[in-house]
Amino acid sequence: MELSCAVQNYAWGVKGIKSSVAQFAKATQASLEVKDDQPFAELWMGTHPSGPSVVKGSGVNLDKYISEHLEVLGSPVAEKFQNQLPFLFKVLSVNQALSIQAHPNKAHAEELHQSRPEVYKDPNHKPEMAIALTPFQALCGFRPEKEIIKHFTEVHELQNVIGKDLCHAFISSPNEKNLKACFNAMMTASKDTIASALSEYMQRLSSLDSTKGAELLRDLFLTLHEKYPGDVGCFSIYLLNCFTLQPGEAMFLGPNVIHAYLYGDCIECMACSDNVVRAGLTPKYQDVETLISMLEYEMLPAELRKFKGNAIDKYTVSYDPPVPDFAVDMIEIPEGVPEYSLRTIDSASIIIIVEGQAKDLTISPPSPGEVTQATEVQRGSVLFLGAKQSLLLKFDGNSRFLAFRALCLL
């Protein structure tokens, strides 16, 4: 059955119909008004109360439908996750950097929710995975020690923010304890110290030749500073890995891993939560002390932050992270293939069509309740498939078909 899904208009989203989120939402909600100056940042597919999906035709919220037909979750999922859909599926269209952030583990999430429910609105953890739809730029995890030492040595304005003694202590002994001390000093420096260092560094960058400017990530620094002037988060690029995922590449973000998305479109899947601890590159509430205390300070190469999928067959790659809450299948059918059946699993799943179209859908057994079964799909269509339902897609053979499927593999 087809879903109508919620749109989030966060300021960092791509504006107007250029946004993939706007395109997907418009495809299934013809009446949706898309203004040229309005950002369309996220499409939410699932049951989270901040943006629940609705069953098309009946208008019933997906969480209500599931509660009335628990068999669609699958027995293992229903038992483990207290009769709730355990994941939240998203599309993101990023036009400017999201906040420097991390997500708490389950126990920490419960603690934060209990102490500050107005900020941390649910008690669940939020491991998440991003799969690139376009070249997707991100910060993730701390750089290898040699790269941090190089930046401490060359960016003396950063040393002025952190403090020369702390920087030299790290250079002499590059361990996690010293890195934490440096990061803490940077993120808690006075506004005057940060403003002065950023101003001096902006002037110096402008005088560098192209080779040296590229080594010091000049373009990225200037882009961040244009959007977030005076924000110490602009200096974070010298401590954090910066890389670009190509379409189909993924990264998994477990608890306490520092990250920030910078630019591009991606599919994202996570545990059903919206718990974020922020500190930099955002006008939103920043909880610097909590972030610093909870982070893992492991220093790894950027390549190790990527997450590899496993081929299920010729056309499906499964991204199955080390958490029970979710996994994602990428289904890519080339031109000329007449039909394809999605694998049958004992879990509810949500499917979004990113490219191409399919007709004569065969769904077996039919979905329970008074619902309209989808018979064809196109770019932007979002489907809900119950546990143990099979889905046969038929193609005209003239175009590539690309879809992503969130599911739970227990």
Q: Which residue reads 């002390």 in tokens?
A: 289
Peptide bond into 255 cis (omega under 30): no
Q: Say whether 151 sits in a helix, a strand or coil.
A: helix
Known active-site residue 278: yes
Q: From the CB of residue 295, how many other CB atoms can be counted at a distance below 10 Å?
A: 22
Element (H, E) at 157: helix 156-162
Max CA separation in the chain (angstroms) = 69
Taking each helix axis as running N to C, give the angle between helix 176-187 and helix 164-172, from 0 to 180 degrees, rounded to the nearest 10.
160
Sign, Cα dihedral of 166, 168, 169, 170: positive
143, 218, 278, 379: the catalytic one is 278
Degrees, nearest 5: CA angle 141-162-282: 55
d(CA 386, CA 383): 10
Q: Say whether 244 sits in a helix, a strand or coil.
A: strand
d(CA 374, CA 359): 9
- The residue type found at 58 is S
Q: Tell me, what DSSP letter sits at residue 393?
A: E
Q: Which of 400, 371, 389 is nearest to 4 (CA)?
A: 371
d(CA 409, CA 10): 31
Element (H, E) at 68: helix 62-68
d(CA 37, CA 18): 11
List the structure tokens of 266.
């991606």
> Contact 273/410 with Cβ under 8 angstroms?
no
Question: Which residues carry out catalysis?
Answer: 278
